[in-house]
Amino acid sequence: MKKNRKIVITNEQSHVEIKSSEIKKALELIPELNNFRLSIVYVDDAEISTFNERYLKHSGATDVLSFPISSKEGEIIVSAETALREAKERNIDVQGEILLYTFHGILHLLGYDDHSDEEYAEMHAIERKLLEQLGYTWSWDD
C-alpha cells in the first residue's frame, strides 16, 4: 500500500529544539497516518493558552490540543514550554516528552479518547509502546 502522508511541522517557540526529521521518523510507527494530512505546531504556553481559551473555553496552558478537520486530516498544537517544564520536574528527556504530547494529540485525531479509566489506560498503553519503540522507557504516570 502506497503511503501518502503529508506532515507539516511548524515551530513557533524558542524553549525547546524541535527535531522535525526525528519527529517525522517517529510518526512512521503509526500506520494509521498513511493517507493522512497532519499539521503539528509547537508553541509556548502563552500561545496554547490563547487557543485553549478560544476553542475549548478553558483557561491556562495545556500540553496538547487536537483539531480534527476530517477523517484523514487534522492539526495538533503542542506546548513545548509545558514539555520542558514537565521534563525538568520529572528529570526526563524533553524530546521524549515532546513526542508523548505529539502522539497523544495524534491519537485523539485518530479517534482515541481518555475520558474514562478504560479509554485512558488504552490510550496511554499505545503511547508507552510507541515511546518504548523509540528507546524511551521512563514512566510518565506519576
pLDDT for the residue numbered 5: 83
Cell 493558552 belongs to residue? 49
Over the Cα atoms of the chain, what is R_g?
14
Which secondary structure element, helix H or strand E, spans residue 51, and what is its range? helix 45-56
Per-residue pLDDT of the chain (142 residues; tens, 9 = 90+): 456 789 999 999 999 999 999 999 999 999 999 999 999 999 999 999 999 999 999 999 999 999 999 999 999 999 999 999 999 998 999 999 999 999 999 999 999 998 899 999 999 999 999 999 999 986 655 4
pLDDT at 98: 97
Under 8 Å between Cβ of 65 and 93 = no
Per-residue pLDDT, 137:
82
